[in-house]
Amino acid sequence: MISVPEPVGADLLGELPPATEVVVWDGHCAAPPEADGIEMFVGPYNAPAPEADVLAGLPRLRVIQLLSAGVEPWLPVVPDGVQLCNGRGIHGASTAELAFAGMLASLRDLPAYLAAQGEHRWERRTSGGLDGRRVLVIGAGDIGGRIADAARLFGAEVTLVGRTARDGVRASAELPRLVPEHEVVALAVPLTADTDRLVDARFLASMPDGALLVNVARGSVVDTGALVAELRTGRLRAFLDVTDPEPLPAEHSLWDVPNLLLTPHVGGGTRGWKRRAYGLAGEQFRRLVAGEPLHNRVAAGY
C-alpha cells in the first residue's frame, strides 16, 4: 500500500503492481483505517512533517518518499529501519531556471529598468552580463550542476564546488580561497550542520566589490543580518528565492535594502511539477515491490 497526500497524486502514480492499494492521507489528519498497511508514505510538499509518533505508528512502513529535495524537517521523525528518499530531480530544472533568471536579471539591471518604466523614463544603462564572468556554484548536485551548465552556455567561467573534490568539482574546504576570485556566487546546497550560516559576515566580506550572491538553497545557509548589513553599504548585490526567516515578515529590514531582488521561495513552483513528483513516487513504489534499489536514498542528512 502507498499513501499520497492529495487525490491528484493517486492519478499521477502511473501503473502500479497488481493489488496495490492507494490511500490519500497527509499524516496530519486522523489516520484512515487502512493506515496499518502503508509501506510507502509520500510526504506532503511545502508542509510540516507529521509528528514522529504518527509515522512510528505505521507497522508496515518501509519508505518515506519526499516531493522536495530538502529533507531537514523530516530527519528527526523518520522511524528506525525506515528509508528516507528525497525528491531530487523533481524541481531541479525549475529551481536552476529561477536561479539563472535572477542572476541575469540582477547582472543586466532589470530591476532598475522596471523602476524607470514605472516613471516613464527612457534611460539606458551599461550593465554586465555573464560573458567572461567568474561564477562560483556551491553545491554540485542536480540544481547546482544545471546552474553551472547554463552559465557556461553564456560564456561564464564556472567553478563548481561540492563536499569533496572529484573530476570537475572542487572541495568545499577551498572556499576561503575561491570566494574572493569570483564575481557571482550561487548557492545550491542542502541545509546541514556544515552549511547552516555558511555565508556569514566573513564570507560576504571576502566577496569582491560588485559581486552578486544568488541563493536558491535554504534561507539559513545565509546569515540574514550579515547580508542586510553588507547590502546596505551598496557593495554587493543579491538575488534570493529563500530567506531566514521564512515567510519573510512584512516589517523585516530585508525588504528595503538596496541591490536586492527577492522572490518568495517559488523555485519549484512551475506547472508540471506534480506530474514529475508523483511519477517519481510511483516509480519508487514499483522498485520497492520488485526488490530493486531505490533512487535518491538519503544518508547522513543528504
| Same domain? 44 vs 183 | no
210 touches 184 (CB < 8 A):
no
| Same domain? 110 vs 195 | yes
| Same domain? 173 vs 57 | no
| pLDDT, average across residues 272-279 | 95
With cut-offs at 50, 70 and 90, classify the pLDDT of residue 269: confident
The CATH code of the domain that includes 10 is 3.40.50.720
| pLDDT, average across residues 43-56 | 94
Q: How far is CA 174 from CA 7, 179, 218, 243, in A?
A: 47, 9, 21, 25
Domain contains 64: yes
**Entry pTM:** 0.91
Question: Look-up: residue for cell 559576515?
Answer: 201
pLDDT, residue 233, reads: 97
| Same domain? 86 vs 97 | no
pLDDT, residue 129, reads: 92
pLDDT, residue 271, reads: 87
Q: How far apart are the first and last CA of the chain?
A: 26
| Same domain? 126 vs 159 | yes
| Same domain? 231 vs 249 | yes
> Percentage of the chain surpassing pLDDT 90?
94
| Same domain? 72 vs 214 | no
| pLDDT, average across residues 162-175 | 96
24: enclosing H helix or E strand = strand 22-24
Structural domains counted in the chain: 2
Question: How many Cβ atoms are within 10 Å of 114's Cβ, its own excluded?
Answer: 10
| Same domain? 139 vs 213 | yes
> Taking 80 as the threshold, does the pLDDT of residue 17 lie above it?
yes
CA 161 to chain centre: 16
pLDDT digit string, tens, across residues 65-105: 999 988 999 999 999 999 999 999 999 999 999 999 999 99
User: CA-to-CA distance for 11 and 263, rounded, in angstroms?
Assistant: 31
Domain contains 147: yes
Helix axes 92-107, 142-153, angle to 10 degrees: 40
Domain contains 302: no
DSSP state of 114: H
Domain contains 296: no
282 touches 8 (CB < 8 A):
no
Domain contains 297: no
| Same domain? 172 vs 47 | no
- 246 counts as catalytic: yes
What is the span of the domain harbouring residue 227?
92-262
> Percentage of the chain surpassing pLDDT 70?
99
Domain contains 295: no
164 touches 117 (CB < 8 A):
no
User: CA-to-CA distance for 52 and 271, rounded, in angstroms?
Assistant: 32
| Same domain? 144 vs 227 | yes
- 108 counts as catalytic: no
> Taking 90 as the threshold, does the pLDDT of residue 181 lie above it?
yes
| pLDDT, average across residues 41-47 | 93
| pLDDT, average across residues 144-163 | 97
With cut-offs at 50, 70 and 90, classify the pLDDT of residue 300: confident
97 three-class SS: helix
Name 1's Cβ contacts closer than 8 Å, sequence gap at least 6. 20, 21, 22, 23, 34, 37, 38, 39, 40, 60
pLDDT, residue 268, reads: 87
pLDDT digit string, tens, across residues 104-150: 999 999 999 999 999 999 999 998 899 999 999 999 999 999 999 99
Catalytic residue among 182, 218, 237, 276: 218
Mean pLDDT of all residues in the chain? 96
| Same domain? 77 vs 97 | no
Catalytic residue among 181, 246, 292, 297: 246
133 touches 108 (CB < 8 A):
no
Edge-to-edge strand list for the sheet holding 260-262: 170-171, 157-162, 134-138, 184-187, 212-215, 237-240, 260-262
Catalytic residue among 146, 170, 237, 265: 265
| Same domain? 100 vs 81 | no
112 touches 126 (CB < 8 A):
no
> Taking 90 as the threshold, does the pLDDT of residue 250 lie above it?
yes
CA 52 to chain centre: 24
